[in-house]
Amino acid sequence: MDREQQKRYWHTSAHILAHAVKRQFPEVKLGTGPAIENGFYYDFYREEPFTPADIEKISKAMEEIIKQNLPVEKIFVSKEEAKELLKDEPFKLEILEGIKEDTVTFYRQGDFIDLCEGPHISSTGEVKHFKILSTAASYWRGDENRESMQRIYGISFPTREELDGYLKFLEEAKERDHRTLGPKLDLFSLHPEYGSGLIFWHPKGALIRKIIEDIWKDVHLKNGYEIVYTPHIADLSLWERSGHTGFYKENMFAPMEMDKKVFQLKPMNCPFHILIYNTKLRSYRDLPIRWAELGTVYRYEKQGVLHGLLRVRGFTQDDAHIFCTEEQIEEEVIKVLELVTFFLGKFGFYEYKIFLSTRPEKYVGNPDDWDKATIALGNALKKTGMTYEIDPGEGVFYGPKIDIKIKDCLNREWQCSTIQVDFNIPERFELKYTDKEGAYRTPILIHRAILGSIERFFGVLIEHYKGNFPFWLAPEQIRVLPISERHIPYAEKTSDVLKPHFRLQIDRRNEKINKKIRDAEEEKVPYMLIIGDKEEQSGTSALRKHKEGMIGTFTPDEIMRMLKE
Amino acid sequence: MDREQQKRYWHTSAHILAHAVKRQFPEVKLGTGPAIENGFYYDFYREEPFTPADIEKISKAMEEIIKQNLPVEKIFVSKEEAKELLKDEPFKLEILEGIKEDTVTFYRQGDFIDLCEGPHISSTGEVKHFKILSTAASYWRGDENRESMQRIYGISFPTREELDGYLKFLEEAKERDHRTLGPKLDLFSLHPEYGSGLIFWHPKGALIRKIIEDIWKDVHLKNGYEIVYTPHIADLSLWERSGHTGFYKENMFAPMEMDKKVFQLKPMNCPFHILIYNTKLRSYRDLPIRWAELGTVYRYEKQGVLHGLLRVRGFTQDDAHIFCTEEQIEEEVIKVLELVTFFLGKFGFYEYKIFLSTRPEKYVGNPDDWDKATIALGNALKKTGMTYEIDPGEGVFYGPKIDIKIKDCLNREWQCSTIQVDFNIPERFELKYTDKEGAYRTPILIHRAILGSIERFFGVLIEHYKGNFPFWLAPEQIRVLPISERHIPYAEKTSDVLKPHFRLQIDRRNEKINKKIRDAEEEKVPYMLIIGDKEEQSGTSALRKHKEGMIGTFTPDEIMRMLKE
């Protein structure tokens, strides 16, 4: 099935769900029920929550409706008729009021009829295998001040194999869920009671972040970038000048007024780098200028869309801005793509999907510049041998861009890297450089991020690795487990040899060795060193690998050599 | 002169200034004129600004008043009489209205009389040597909505030597002023048009910051600290719980309301670390827990007190919180003091002034705990051999503290490190740990910072070093200067050898070698390598040291060895 067919299939599945609910609970009022990225849902209004037994009944009724193989018909009715048909469905009536046309469409299957634009598949029998996945609370029209609805999620496929495969994928994804692994491995926490969508990095998660940031800074400095630091707030007028108060306002936090000045939490770093650029007159000799910042930005997202580390309100972009001439775009983009390949490869991502988005209908700048920049982006992709698709008209209004999605081990796609040419900001801030002849020219500005957001990237990493971070990234690389208290001094001696080279802890607790091993396994420490009488006497430790078990008995020096590789 | 005598001396000097102004410009209205830390000022209201010629006249008049050696008399008058005396001084009348007492005091010298509490020295002739230093605009009562005043600053001393010494100090301080050196060396900028008190770190300043932060993190990790990262905002309720909305409100930015939730920019990091602590039950075995964060906080300071990097609205604290038992306080504080000595010494600060502040009148917690903690702080200072003074009753309401002031090369004191015990927050957030018997106990919380604020510390460093950062901290350590364009390839070869070890740039400009040397000297690059025909033929470079000149001619390997030390 292609995406369009799948959408129809799941949309009809949603109607079957609503049909089944109405058969079992005729008093329930219908909300809406679309196909979504994976499956479908339907929102219902009912005083009492659906119990597992209710869901069982609904599921049975769905099976019947499928077995009946009811044809799905499209009906055109006048608005007057529609009002009559929906007289007991207040939510549907509300939707109806919003429709301007005189004739509306319904879809009917047996005794069930629903105000709906479609499209649908032709009969209920085509839906072969389905499963109700979960229920959740939602608000009518997403508005916290409106009625609370009950949303039922489901999935369906034409074959049993597809359904089983998907359910297995769900189970695997659940085991990898960073929202479960994060607290379990003591990596991070959220404290929604003191503000949703804000991440607190615990020592182990922070250590991973530090390792990532250190490499990031190091590699950038070696590749001709310079690092800058800028504030998290600025006068609102900066955002007026940059245009963000116009086209980005709904993502910005409320401004803070102090002594008649108005401060704004930053949703982006760019205007700050621009101000640094404008502190002196630059020459063509200075270009390209590449300024990188691990800049923490704050964007207001609605409560309902927040999701662990993946969708947050405060996050750190691995941001950079390149100021260059038109002729330098291609070479600069090639260099960025090489950095992308290096960094994503370092974290075990080798498969990407790349999109080059071109000029949309509404745009700023002149078409010639757009064309040249778009060609430069395309050439850069070709020269680095990267396969890409063109997303026609999907560029931002200020310039063409390259988006790179990575695939994780469950084949899920994550948008990370982005490279965007900007014709807007250089004009708005009157950026200039002097060319060879001493004339003033406007530089090209390229925004780029490789990991995207450190928070989001960390979420993807946790799920990709299932919390089993590779040795170089593990916050605790080795745990030394003395079998009893009398082995602690020798454990410390061993630790002294290894500590300068590895991140290591000693488990000094007064616990049985099996418990210590179990805990280290649970906490996904890559290597354990077990130390008892035998080891102490021979000056060795027993090396155990996470999930794989005993490797052998080695001296500290041998262990150092083995693990250094 | 002690501090009290000095204050009287300068206060009388301020009256002499006002007296002189009234003699020369009788229409001027008087504001106030106190002694300040260094000298004195007086605020005047006058339509036209004082010109340099006016200041000359005022200075002359001051000399006369001093020569006249007028006795300074204190007079007690009734409020009614005072009103009559001040009928032409609207600002003084305003002050008078605010005085509750029935009798007020004036000070009189010759024909000049001023509403004043004193104290003063006994005659104008005692002021021997003075100088008017500068003029500045100020607002009446510091209120932007009130009249704009002209403030005249001055200094005075009993001997010519003292005055000359002070003027020389001022000149030296001016040359070292980080607000001049910062932009000149391209280290940082401020953009008050887009928000005052916010620092933009340019690449060179940012590189220095990165070096400082890297060492800071590295040393902390090696010394048993763990690093955490926390958000810059939280729900206002967090600050209600911590108590900050009560005792710290005026330093906080305005809250941001979004969808009925209220977010607050953080003025401090502590409540965030507390929330991480409370994500699980801690045991006595886990203590001490030491969490460090380079946490950027935002505190609202009035426009008038902002000062370059030294007084800002956004700054990064090198913050840490230690959770420990009462018995661990002393040892923990000793360890912090060792870190303080290490870090401050690393930056060339060896002289400190240390204050131990004890229980104030208003405090939380019980006196026994205060006593024990205060003794522990004192013992730690004694055991590390640090001389300190006791500041009785100057502790914060929540606990005793140690403050450490460093002395820079001009003998100016800067408050940097602080170590504070907190009995308040652990109670407010119900922090707990289980002791050996399994009973719940409340841990001690120690707040500590070593550098204080990275921004402020950087400002002190710039002035301390006069921009001549030590080799290890210099953003550009070596500049390679090819004499002409044909020497560039060899310059690049030399650079390739040294680049992996040093921060190095090649000056490729088409400029005369003298100009290149002058620029490198101006930009305070510690070492230059000059490369011409002779050097190229012998495979060497001529090594030149900043401010000292030529050292000799060496091969790249020799240079590497020499500079590595």
Judgement on whether residues A364 and A442 belong to the same structural domain of the protein: yes
A270 is catalytic: yes
CATH code where residue B47 lies? 3.30.980.10
Q: What are the tokens at A374? A: 């778009």
Residue type for A207, please?
A: L
- Chain B hits for A235, CB-CB cut-off 8 Å, are 193-195
Q: By residue range, what is the domain housing residue A558?
A: 478-564
In a domain, B78, yes or no: yes
pLDDT, tens digit only, all 565 positions of chain B:
888 999 999 999 999 999 999 999 999 999 999 999 899 999 999 999 999 999 999 999 999 999 999 999 999 999 999 999 999 999 999 999 999 999 999 999 999 999 999 899 999 999 999 999 999 999 999 888 899 999 999 999 999 999 999 999 999 999 999 999 999 999 999 999 999 999 999 999 999 999 999 999 999 999 999 999 999 999 999 999 999 998 899 999 999 999 989 999 999 999 999 999 999 999 999 999 999 999 999 999 998 889 999 999 999 999 999 999 999 999 999 999 999 999 999 999 998 999 999 999 988 888 999 999 999 999 999 999 999 999 999 898 999 999 999 988 888 889 999 999 999 999 999 999 999 999 999 999 999 999 999 999 999 999 999 999 999 999 999 999 999 999 999 999 999 999 999 999 999 999 999 999 999 999 999 999 999 999 999 999 999 999 999 999 999 999 999 998 7
Residue type for A52, please?
A: P
Assess B296–A contact: CB distance below 8 Å, yes or no.
Answer: yes
CATH code where residue B486 lies? 3.40.50.800
Judgement on whether residues B417 and B529 belong to the same structural domain of the protein: no
In a domain, A150, yes or no: yes
Q: Which of B147, B189, B203 is nearest to B31 (CA)?
A: B147
Per DSSP, the residues of A333-396 read HHHHHHHHHHHHHHTT---EEEEEE---SS--S-HHHHHHHHHHHHHHHHHTT---EEETT-SB
- Chain A hits for B139, CB-CB cut-off 8 Å, are none
Mutate to test the interface with B, among A189, A221, A276, A434 (most CBs of B within 10 A): A276
In a domain, B261, yes or no: no
Place of tokens 């992308």: A340
Judgement on whether residues A149 and A195 belong to the same structural domain of the protein: no
Q: How many structural domains is chain A composed of? A: 3
For residue B207, the SS3 value is helix
Rounded CA separation A526/A524 (Å): 6
Q: Which residues pair with A317 in a beta bridge?
A: A295, A453
Q: What are the tokens at A527? A: 């290597």
In a domain, B274, yes or no: no
In a domain, B470, yes or no: no
Out of B258, B291, B300, the one facing A258 most closely (by C-beta) is B300
Contact A227 B199 (CB under 8 A): no
Which are the contacts of B417, defined by CB distance < 8 A and separation ≥ 6? Answer: B340, B344, B402, B403, B404, B448, B449, B450, B451, B452
Four-CA torsion A56, A60, A62, A63, nearest 10 degrees: 140
Provide the 10 A C-beta neighbour count for residue B356. Answer: 22
In a domain, B472, yes or no: no
Q: Is B197 left (phi over 0), alpha (psi -120 to 50) or beta?
A: left
- Chain B hits for A229, CB-CB cut-off 8 Å, are 199-201, 206, 209
**Is the distance from CB of B481 to CB of B540 less than 8 angstroms?**
no
Judgement on whether residues A150 and A14 belong to the same structural domain of the protein: yes
Rounded CA separation B141/A556 (Å): 71
**Is the distance from CB of B151 to CB of B42 less than 8 angstroms?**
yes
Rounded CA separation A72/A112 (Å): 10
Q: Which of A312, A317, A311 is nearest to A232 (CA)?
A: A317
Rounded CA separation A336/A446 (Å): 10
Judgement on whether residues A119 and A214 belong to the same structural domain of the protein: no
Domain end, chosen from B152, B172, B192, is at B172
pLDDT of residue B142: 84
Contacts 24+ apart (CB under 8 A), A505-512: A505/A476, A505/A478, A505/A479, A505/A480, A506/A479, A506/A480, A506/A482, A507/A479, A507/A480, A507/A481, A507/A482, A508/A482, A508/B285, A509/B285, A510/A485
Give me the residues of B, 440-499, that contact A with CB < 8 A: none
- What radius of gyration, in Å, describes the C-alpha atoms of chain B? 29
Rounded CA separation B106/A316 (Å): 60
Judgement on whether residues A296 and A220 belong to the same structural domain of the protein: yes
CATH code where residue B398 lies? 3.30.930.10
- H helices, E strands: number in chain B: 18, 29
In a domain, B91, yes or no: yes
Q: Which of B290, B39, B260, B66 is nearest to B152 (CA)?
A: B39
Provide the 10 A C-beta neighbour count for residue A375. Answer: 13
B409 is catalytic: no
Rounded CA separation A208/A201 (Å): 10
Out of A144, A217, A257, the one facing B210 most closely (by C-beta) is A217
The backbone torsions φ and ψ at residue A112, rounded to the nearest 5 degrees and listed phi first, read -105, 130
Per residue in A497-524, pLDDT (tens digit) is 999 999 999 999 999 999 999 999 999 9
Assess B217–A contact: CB distance below 8 Å, yes or no.
Answer: yes
For the beta sheet containing A261-265, the strands, ordered from the edge strand earlier in sequence to the opposite edge, are A233-235, A261-265, A256-258
Rounded CA separation B355/B415 (Å): 11
Rounded CA separation A480/A397 (Å): 56
Rounded CA separation A295/A282 (Å): 24
Rounded CA separation B231/B238 (Å): 12
Judgement on whether residues A291 and A367 belong to the same structural domain of the protein: yes
In a domain, A58, yes or no: yes
Q: Per residue, what are the HEC states of B333-351? A: HHHHHHHHHHHHHHCCCCC
Residue type for A126, please?
A: E
Out of B199, B217, B253, the one facing A231 most closely (by C-beta) is B199
Mutate to test the interface with A, among B145, B146, B199, B200 (most CBs of A within 10 A): B200
Domain end, chosen from A123, A151, A172, is at A172
Contact B195 A234 (CB under 8 A): yes
Judgement on whether residues B101 and B204 belong to the same structural domain of the protein: no
Judgement on whether residues B456 and B525 belong to the same structural domain of the protein: no
Judgement on whether residues A362 and A503 belong to the same structural domain of the protein: no
- Chain B hits for A255, CB-CB cut-off 8 Å, are 256
Provide the 10 A C-beta neighbour count for residue B539. Answer: 12
Domain end, chosen from A433, A464, A495, is at A464
Judgement on whether residues A206 and A335 belong to the same structural domain of the protein: yes
Q: Is the model's pLDDT at A56 over the cut of 90? A: yes
Q: How many residues does chain A have?
A: 565
Judgement on whether residues B106 and B193 belong to the same structural domain of the protein: no
